[in-house]
A = this chain, B = another copy of it.
Amino acid sequence: MLPEGYSIREVKASDHLPYLESLKVLTTVGEISKSQFEELVEYWKKNEVYHPHVVANEKDEVVATGMLLIERKAIHECGLVGHIEDISVAGHQQGKKLGYNMICTLAEKAKQAGCYKVILDCSPHNVEFYEKCGFKNDGTEMVKRF
């Protein structure tokens, strides 16, 4: 359950600064202008792969983020796979289970969309948290950075 007045909704172009502020707990965000953000949100909304969500507080301000990508594959009879990306909870909003609620909501959306599975990559120290969300260890993430 989310705290009273909080809700999970799709991101809006007007979420600019609080959206980026929440993401800063994850990694470098850098300078992204209002118009750049609006263009990005517009792009996400036009492309059916992207399902960007936020937790909004009682003032409808973004306090957490979560992206669901829905990929169309050939395997599993043209199956769909959900990918969860960029789960962040603003620093002053920790401890309210916002991340847990976001994960459960995105996993449920993947299921409703017809995905046969939903996957995500995490640090080893977050495995226990995702197990509480009903996920299981399924492999190793490999990276090549440029």
Residues of A within 8 A of B (CB): 19-20, 23, 26-32, 36-37, 40, 43-44, 47-50, 67, 69, 71-78, 83, 85-86, 107, 110-111, 115-124, 127, 130-131, 133-146
Contact = CB atoms under 8 A, between A and B. Distances in A.
B72 A40 contact: yes
Contacts of A37: 74
Contact of A74 (B19, B73, B117, B120): B19
A64 to B, nearest CB: 14
Contact of A118 (B116, B131, B143): B143
A86 B23 CA distance: 29
Contact of A119 (B86, B138, B141): B141
A1 to B, nearest CB: 20
